[in-house]
Structure 1
Amino acid sequence: MKSGFALTICMLLSLLDVVKGATTANTSVPFTYNETNFLLHGKPFQILAGQMDPQRIPQQYWRDRLQKVRAMGLNSISSYIFWDLLEPTEGNWDFSGMNNVAQYFKIAQEEGLKVLLRPGSYICGEHTWGGFPAWLSEVPGMVVRSNNEPFLNVTKSYITRLANELKPLLVTNGGPIVLVQVENEYGSYGSDKQYTSTLRDMWKEAGFNVPLYTTDGDGISYLEGGMIENVLAETDGGGGNVEGAFVTRQNYLANTTSSGPFIDAEYYTTWLDLWGSPHQTMDANGAKTVMGDMDWLIKNGSSFSLYMVHGGTNFGFSAGADWSTVLTPVTSRQVIYYPLDREMTIFSDQFQFQL
């Protein structure tokens, strides 16, 4: 099984040079996109990413984990930023240790990885209150994820402070950050375009002069709610339906200002463990599904981010929870997604092309 999977991946990756055909004359913009391709220094760039969050990994292990991601053949990482850990009390910022996110992205660049930044301010991510600091609940009149003045004021403060740390690491300044996500799967929550367009403008005004994007579920209602004018709209999913997600997205976004190259922004390699749930694993059929999806994505010149490539740990009481009729907390990230060593076993060491 392993050797067959490895051979398939080798064959798929060998197609990348075929997919990367065209170039563009405009090489003055470090990273941009057209209808079909992301463009890095004017040349088509297929994003092969994995999700890994610095604030879930002790700082001394960052380089080791990033080296393993690169050894898989991936050329990018996507990472959430947890606002609540950076500003645990209002106005008191902590960028030390696992919160030194700028250092994490510097190491990623040193290891040959581009970065898809997912800073929220709401990030979900199986993290408590989606990354919002607890003190937001004590602000008079606060309504999160809305066009609410108290919320927008503190969000702007967060974006401005994050810009101080990360602007030097944008690809436009010679850094690794090529894309910045606005909000997270907002179409599953609401459809307030005034709110989301205000967020878009905040990121731009703070100096994040790289392409912005949104990520939503692959249904039309999710895209309708989450897409923002002049922001690239992407979807997430997995489990054998990436082609369907692609078709849904392409048909809906045609002739809009949110169309562009397709990236499965959260390709689910397996699923999370909830308190009391069976432990999630991948069997042979699951591995075949992943292989089939990777086959389709790579052959069609599409991009993806494996969610997760390495889960890390929800330290303390930072794990989120699901709720339907009962509250079911998420367990430690070490056991809810395939840890990186098992991803390495599945993908073996066959992602060895210079991408």
Structure 2
Amino acid sequence: MPVLQIEGDDFTLDGEPFRIISGSLHYFRVHPEHWADRLRKARLMGLNTVETYVPWNLHQPRPDTFRLDAGLDLPHFLDLAAAEGLHVLLRPGPYICAEWEGGGLPSWLLADPDIRLRSQDPRYLHAVAGYFAQLLPPLLGRLATRGGPVLAVQVENEYGAHGNDTAHLTHLAALLRESGVDVPLFTSDQPGDLARGALPGALATANFGSRSGRWLAALRAHQPTGPLMCTEFWNGWFDRWGGHHVVREPDEAAQELDDLLATGASVNLYMVHGGTNFGFTNGANDKHTYRPTVTSYDYDAPLDEAGDPTAKYHAFRAVIAKYAPVPADPAPERAAKLAAPGVPLTESAPLFDALATLSTAVSSARPLTMEQLGQDFGFVLYETALPAAGPALLELDEVRDRAQVFVDGQPVGVLERENHEHALALTVPREGSVLRLLVENQGRVNYGPGIHDRKGLPGRVRLNGAELTGWTNHPLPLHSLDGLAFTSGPPTVGPAFHRGTFEVEAPADTFVHLPGWTKGTVWVNGFHLGRYWSRGPQRSLYLPGPVLRPGRNAITVLELHAARHPHTVDLRTTPDLGPTEE
């Protein structure tokens, strides 16, 4: 592979002028059996490069565990990009934002009560050094200087929006260099943050989605020489629960891209293909109000969540063709989809009856946070006995992020961080009644000062002003549902798993629709699709075809509240991402 150089105001590749025309494609948001397909479609749109973040929290889920396998086989993804003739921009963090859980920072960092993330805190730097020491050696052979596809590597991510500690960026850049990264380094920031986020010796780039001339001028004012590049051209946006599905008109986005390319600048589309926040991996924002991101990361991108070309794909392909060669191959077609309406879920397993199977109980005086329990994603069930009968006021210092409240197994209310709720009036039937608080981590904050986002109940719980002690904590990461005892019978009260099967002749992509269901999460053949919530906007879940197999397939739904009876789900050929703003 040719080597990228910075010469004056231009990029060169082996001495020849080169313009980066790239698109973001996160391998960890795409089923690995779809990687080659998505890369091919990116090239056919006219891209010569793809960009990907690297999620530290998935690769190193515990301090003593590191993964580069299956859907996290980044070396394989890079090899597939090279085989497709694509270059790569690599953004390894350690912080990535990306609307990803915790901005990619692993939750175990937060087990230390006063650690300062994204700083020169020695505890944080030690963890970052350990991460780079395991991530980077297997990638060095994929650098362009060694014949691989990786042209350049980013230092941190939009650091100027967080702080202005150049010493921290310098330290991270030195770690990269000491680890053997010898390709150009770059930073990326929103235009107003360039002065705080730039790093001497690294190429500064800017992130924006419109008014290219204005923002490139700001970049040039900050950096008098060097290539101009927009590392995140926002051609779409993400959705949050309770909002609307955000779209950007193809013609308007294409005109903005045309304006940008007309300046001669390089570009990375954010995103060319968004993919999915499978499982519990979505992030959240908190600008005085907590807002969790939905499961879909469709992003209104040129390739939709299922990898199909959209009107934006064709509009962008036409624009790119004005400035660079576009393959003569025809644009890809929409792939076939599978339909299976009315799949019955006839078996159930109440969550509270399965605690011994799903969890190992931990006793404590006060409730323990997820981080104290060594848990990253999922739920914690907190349990204690109540001291007296009668009307009572339950108060929680903090709810991170949504607590369902039960007394003697009966639901009595919900407290939501998003609504700033901390108190609930209830009636205690008897002395010794069992209080249960099922607390869901709805996504750690991925942007801003709120990234120090500990989950569960990080504080006291009081009843009529007196602190409740003597807790049993049941961690529920739900990594595996093996061992659940399903039975047929009448609807259960409270959270429950519901299971059914359906037959498939030829596996293909499809979308799970859950009309009449309230809130929960879905697995198919053990693969965790993600969360659903009737509040929307998203009303379907993307099911990748490779998850399915010919013959019988199993679907399991954890419903936290209640669903219409009889319990059924639909597999449909089209998604429903919700209404758009008028």
Could you say what secondary structure the match of 2:136 adopts?
A: helix
Q: Is the 8 A contact 1:33 1:260 kept in 2?
A: yes
Whether 1:306 and 2:269 are equivalent positions in the alignment is yes
Matches within 5 A, 1:3-82: 30-82=3-55
Cα distance change of structure 1 residues 291 and 354 upon mapping to structure 2, 3 Å threshold:
closer
Structure-2 change in CA distance of 1:68 and 1:229 (3 Å): same
Deviations along 1:169-212, whole A, 9 cap, x unmatched? Answer: 00000000001000000000100111111111111111000000
**Partner SS, residue 335 of structure 1:** coil
Which amino acid in the other structure matches residue 267 of structure 1? F
Q: Please report how far the alpha carbon of residue 301 of structure 1 lies from its aligned counterpart in structure 2 after TM superposition.
A: 1.7
Look up the match of 1:335.
298
Give the drift of 1:331: 1.0
Counterpart Cα distance in 1 of 2:127 and 2:214: 38
Q: Is the 8 A contact 1:58 1:97 kept in 2?
A: no
1:251 alignment counterpart: 221
Asked if residue 242 in structure 1 is aligned to residue 212 in structure 2, the reply is: yes
Contact 1:48–1:74 at 8 Å: present in 2 too? yes
Partner of 1:158: 131
SS at match of 1:247: helix
2:237 counterpart of 1:267: no
Q: Judging by fraction of residues, say which structure has more strand.
A: 2
Residues 1:231 and 2:231 aligned together: no
The whole-number CA distance in structure 2 between the counterparts of 1:39 and 1:139 is: 45
Is structure 2 residue 259 aligned with structure 1 residue 296?
A: yes
Displacement of 1:271 after TM fit?
1.3
Q: Could you tell me how far apart the structure 1 residues matched to 2:173 and 2:155 are? A: 7
Structure 2 contact 207–232 (Cα < 8 Å) conserved: yes
**Residue-by-residue CA offset, 1:219-266 (whole Å, 9 max, x unaligned):** 1xx111101111111110012x11111001101222xxxx41011100
2:313 to 316, 337, 344: 344
Paired residue for 1:100, among 73, 76, 98?
Answer: 73
Structure 1 equivalent of residue 449 of structure 2: none
Q: Is the 8 A contact 1:38 1:44 kept in 2?
A: yes
Q: After the TM superposition, which residues 272-287 of structure 1 pair with which residues of structure 2 at under 5 Å, given as runs?
A: 272-283=238-249, 287=250
Q: Report how far residue 354 of structure 1 moved.
A: 5.6
Output the TM-score relative to the length of structure 1: 0.85
Max radius of gyration: which structure? 2
Q: Counterpart amino acid of 1:201?
A: A
Structure 1 residue 134 corresponds to structure 2 residue 107: yes
1:38 is paired with a residue whose SS is strand
TM-superposed CA distance for 1:76, in Å, is: 0.4
Which segment is superposed worse, 117-126 or 328-337?
328-337
Aligned-partner Cα distance in 1 for 2:299–2:46: 23
> Secondary structure, in 3 states, of the residue corresponding to 2:23?
strand
Kindly indicate whether the alpha-carbon contact (under 8 Å) linking 2:95 and 2:157 is maintained by their aligned counterparts in 1: yes
Compute the RMSD of aligned alpha carbons. 1.9
Matches within 5 A, 1:147-186: 147-186=120-159
More divergent stretch after superposition (339-348 vs 315-324): 339-348
More helix by share: 1
Pick one of 187, 190, 209 that aligns with 2:160: 187
How many corresponding residue pairs?
318
Q: Percent identity, aligned pairs only?
A: 33
Change (3 A) 1:59 1:349: farther
Q: 1:29 to 1:315 in 2, by over 3 A?
A: closer
Paired with 2:36 and 2:98, the residues of 1 have a C-alpha distance of 22
1:72–1:350 contact (8 Å) kept in structure 2: no
Q: Please, which moves more after superposition, 244-253 or 327-336?
A: 327-336
- SS of residue matched to 2:272: coil
Task: State the Cα distance separating 1:346 from its structure 2 match.
Answer: 3.2
Q: How big is each residue's C-alpha offset from its partner over 1:255-285, in whole Å with a ceiling of 9 and x where there is no partner?
A: xxxx4101110001121111111111223xx
1:203 equivalent to 2:166? Answer: no
Letter in 2 for 1:116: L
TM-superposed CA distance for 1:350, in Å, is: 7.6
In 1, the alpha carbon distance for the partners of 2:229 and 2:35 equals 25
Displacement of 1:296: 2.7
What are the Cα deviations for residues 118-154 of structure 1, in whole angstroms up to 9, with x where unaligned? 1100000000110011111114652110011111111
What amino acid maps onto 1:242 in structure 2? S
Paired residue for 2:117? Answer: 144
CA distance in 2, matches of 1:143, 1:117: 25
Unaligned runs of 5+ in 1: 1-27
Is contact 2:96-2:157 (8 Å) kept? yes
User: 1:298-335: per-residue Cα shift (whole Å, max 9, x none)?
Assistant: 23221101111111111111101111232111112343
Matches within 5 A, 1:202-221: 202-219=175-192
Read off the aligned partner of 1:252 and give its amino acid letter. H
